A and B are shown apart, each in its own frame.
Chain A
Amino acid sequence: MSVLYVVIPIALLMSAGAVATFLWAVRRGQFDDLSTPGMRMLHDDDPQPPKRDETNEPAEKQ
């Protein structure tokens, strides 16, 4: 059973790693907005990136 003296600390290190990752994610603001990212991922595959068409400037109607 002496293997436990090695395995338990390893397991704990792994959990500590998971907690550290979570900490990083929270600090980066990953959990601040839980609804919009779900929609954002649906948009990623633009057929071509939109270009600013210099000749067809939107009419500046003020």
Chain B
Amino acid sequence: MASDAPQEGVCSIVPCSHCQLPVPPGLLVAGSELQFCCHGCETVYAAIQGAGLERYYQLRQAGGGPVVVTRASGRNYAELGDPSFAALYVRELPAGLAQVELFLEGVHCSACVWIVERLSQVVPGVVHARLDLHRASAEVVWDPKVVSLAEIARTLDRFGYPPHPYRGAERRRLRLQEERTLLIRMGAAWAVSGNVMILSVSLWAGWFADMDADTTQLFRWASMFITLPSILWAARPFFSGAWTALRGRALHMDLPIAIGLSAGFLGGAINVVRGQGEVYFDSVASLIFLLLVGRWVQQRQRREASDAAELLFSLAPAQAHLVGADGQVRDVALERLTAGDIVEVRSGETVPADGEVVEGQSAIDASVLTGESRPVEVGPGDLVHAGTLNVAGMLRQRVERTGELTRVGKLMQAVEEASRRRAPIVALADAIVGRFVAVVLALAAVTAVVWWLLDPSLALDHTVALLIVTCPCALGLATPLAVHAAVGRAARLGIFVKGGDVVERLSKPSRVWFDKTGTLTQGRTELLRAELADEYRPLLLAVERHSSHPLARAVVQAWPDLAELDAVDVQQTVGGGVRGVVQGRTVRVGSLAWVGTEQGGDTYRDLAGTWASDGITPVLVAVDGAVVGALGFGDPLRPDAAAAIAELRRLGCEVGILSGDHPSVVAAVGRQLGILPGDCRGAATPEDKLAAVQACKDRGGVVMVGDGVNDAAALAAATVGISVHGGAEASLQACDAFVTRPGLGAVVELLLGARRTVAVIKRNILFSLVYNLVGTALAMTGLLHPLVAAILMPLSSLTVVSSSFRSRTFALPAEPTKPRSR
């Protein structure tokens, strides 16, 4: 296999014809126009040229911005042809056509849109392909009689967009339907408010210019009829919300809204019939419209967050390599596996089910389940669990338990349990609503009584005026708009927040727990220390190249530039190490016990002992019977971990580590990050993590930051669970917010951004209450003309809108300036 990734640090600057990264000198083809950095790029280039789509490269250039690499994965996608797959993902259309939604890796620019949508011209049988770039999902309609889905998937893969079937398509359709209904309500309410406004302006103009009574009545009747569809149909969400709140004896923003709307409409209707008094149809209509805008914004933002999360889920492997009775290996959907099946698990793949290894030797990275960062050696007879990662050789496994019965499945049940038991928080605005309603109703009663005593004919008008002017439009918009603006900015920084209440909950954490493996650390084994003379390094490397052990791979990765020597007679001892002969010298490398039988090298032995107590895995190297060096391996900290933790401390959070890894490793990481030893808990099972999070919840908000299945229950139980870059499916499902770029800086940004957002929400609420206060005072003194109400209300909403969108809750990176062609 050719090298899969372009190597860094090469001096040549020949750019790859496809991805424009430098081509490694070893892969340069003399005298050729076309140069490729890897096999993947070459495949994509050939596919694009062969399909006559070379215009892609022009479009990509014209688009400006950085070139993001797209590469083929070379999979054959046979599982997509399976009937069980079709039942799950494919929708049948009339005329024998079929439709599927695919999540495409690697789409990023307008040239990608162009190439994906040319699919129907490249693959006969594809009727149409539509790409939604924002969600990176393509809707493909094809004729199954002409072409198979697997062939379509292979073509997309060759273009460098490995497709993944999208599992949440049905749920998404329902959500989309809801959103469309709301959008129609909003549009209808807009039309109504516009038309009523025209009539109202005439009425006000007539009030100044003495319009005759007949015309005035005509306009009032017309306004009332135009408002009818808005109040009866468009505003239904508010009335049903208020009704639910009343029945549940809970207070909700919808309640004062419903009171204001119905008072405004009924009061106006009575005055129209009476032929005297004021009407407020214009205010009612625009209230409904503005409030629906707020609702729509809120719903759309919630949908985008859950879409993003669900698309990430579809990246999880949905197929397994089933070994048939005839020894043939074929790819099947994960759901097809049953107990007793034999499956093949290749190097770098995720184990599909719980079961015993029947063939092969390998190492399993179970950190996602246990938090243990060191890979575990497995061979025939050992039990491996679904969701863990095979990091070394190929394994064959007999399936024992699948789906919900696996250990991961059981953990997920704990996750659901934890999220069900979590009490919903009361949003800031809703907390005010209770008192707000009481005050408004009391003031309305006072107004009615006082004006009844002063002038009974004005009592109704002034009470209605009060109720409509206090209808909490700005208050209702205050939270959704501020959160929408903040969440939108956060998403552009790679921070996705599921639901608006998360922002409010995030603003006051008292304790932040971090998972260690994969969260504070990078989650992979690297060579951290090397006490070995330079002359021995090529010898060691030659031996290690023959081993698939994770530690050996770490050595090969750490020294890419060393001279390549050949090793012969290489033997691997499971649980011990590797020996081999290079240039006539015998090299042994392995554990202390295995290599320790050789002579000398006391300093290296001592060193190895010290490293072991610091949480670094030591390995000794012996050449020709003498110990000549020691290597130390470990899971390195993320580069920004220390800075992020210091920043969190500065913000007044207590920081701690909850890890399933060995306590000595956890303590060592804690020391490096300056976390108190009492706050570093090692050897924690998922249940321990859950208990630790719940114990802290009595004392205030708890934020859990993690990435693995073993963190999922704790993530779900915490006040806010944050899943970091590369998190497992389970943790993505359990968390409230997730980060799609590496590093912990985003977690700090999220906490800071949430604080600023809550400050904006508070400011918005203050603004709207001040407006309401002014309106109330005017209404109670009888000075509130409908014209004043009509100006005051949108003005208050506008203030809230501009305050929400102008505030810098999340600092955005500078936009790349795009060079424009002409």
Which residues of A are at the interface with B, using a C-beta cutoff of 8 A? 1, 4-5, 8, 11-12, 15, 18-19, 22-23, 26-27, 29, 31-36, 39-40, 42-43, 46-47, 49-53, 56-59, 61-62
A9 to B188, CA, bound (A): 17
Contacting residue for B191 out of A18, A31, A36, CB 8 A:
A18
Q: Does B222 contact A (CB under 8 A)?
A: yes
- Chain B residues whose CB sits within 8 angstroms of the CB of A42 once the complex forms: 110
Instruction: Tell me if B47 and A50 are in contact (CB < 8 A).
Output: no
Nearest neighbor of B118 in chain A, beta-carbon distance: A50
Q: With the chains together, A47 CA to B598 CA distance in Å? A: 73
With contacts A46-B55, A52-B122 taken as known, whether A27 is within 8 angstroms of B132 at the C-beta atoms is: no
Identify which of A4, A29, A33, A57 contacts B50 (C-beta below 8 A): A57
Q: How far is the CA of A33 from the CA of B39 in the complex (A)?
A: 35
CB of A8 to closest CB in B, whole Å: 6
Interface-facing stretch out of B176-184, B575-583, B708-716, B795-803 = B176-184
| Bound CA–CA A46/B133 (angstroms) | 20
Given the interface pairs A4-B218, A19-B187, A26-B180, the reply to whether A36 lies near B51 with Cβ below 8 Å is no
Cβ proximity bits B189-232 to A, threshold 8 Å, 1 near / 0 not: 00100110011000000000000101100100010001000000
Kindly report which residue of chain B lies nearest to residue A55, judged by CB atoms.
Answer: B50
B212 contact set on A, CB distance < 8 A: 1
Does B184 lie within 8 Å of A23, measured CB to CB? yes
A31 CB, min distance to chain B CBs, angstroms: 6
Residues of A contacting B117 in the complex (Cβ-Cβ under 8 angstroms): 40, 43
* B756 interface hit (Cβ, 8 Å): no
Chain A contact residues, majority secondary structure: loop
- Residues on B with beta carbons closer than 8 Å to the beta carbon of A31: 180, 183
**A-B contact number at CB 8 A:** 97
Of the candidates B39, B52, B191, the one whose C-beta lies within 8 Å of that of A52 is B52
B59 at the interface (CB under 8 A from A): yes
Tell me, yes or no, whether B299 is within 8 Å of chain A by CB: no
Q: Tell yes or no: B76 within 8 A of A by CB.
A: yes
Nearest-CB distance from A20 to chain B (Å)?
10
List 14 contacting pairs A-B, 8 Å CB cutoff, sorted by A.
A8-B222, A19-B187, A19-B191, A22-B188, A32-B180, A36-B134, A39-B133, A43-B110, A46-B55, A51-B52, A52-B51, A52-B52, A59-B50, A61-B43
CB distance from B624 to the nearest CB of A (A): 45
Q: Which residues of chain B are near A39, meaning CB under 8 Å?
A: 110, 113, 133
Given contacts A4-B218, A36-B132, contact A26 B184 (CB under 8 A): yes
Q: Is the pair B184, A22 in contact by a Cβ cutoff of 8 Å?
A: yes
Indicate whether A62 sits within 8 Å of B76 (C-beta atoms), given known contacts A36-B133, A50-B51.
Answer: yes
Whether A59 contacts B218 by the Cβ 8 Å rule is: no
CA separation between A27 and B46, bound complex, in Å?
Answer: 40
Q: Check B74 against A43 for contact (C-beta < 8 Å).
A: no
Assuming A33-B134, A49-B121, is B218 touching A58 (CB within 8 A)? no
* Contacting pair B188 A19 (CB below 8 A): yes
Q: How far is the CB of A21 from chain B (nearest CB, A)?
A: 10
Check if B122 sits within 8 Å of A61, measured CB to CB. Answer: no
Say yes or no: A4 contacts B215, CB within 8 Å.
yes
Q: B114 interface residue, CB < 8 Å from A? A: yes
- Cα A7 to Cα B489 in complex, Å, equals 47
A5 with B195: CB separation less than 8 A: no
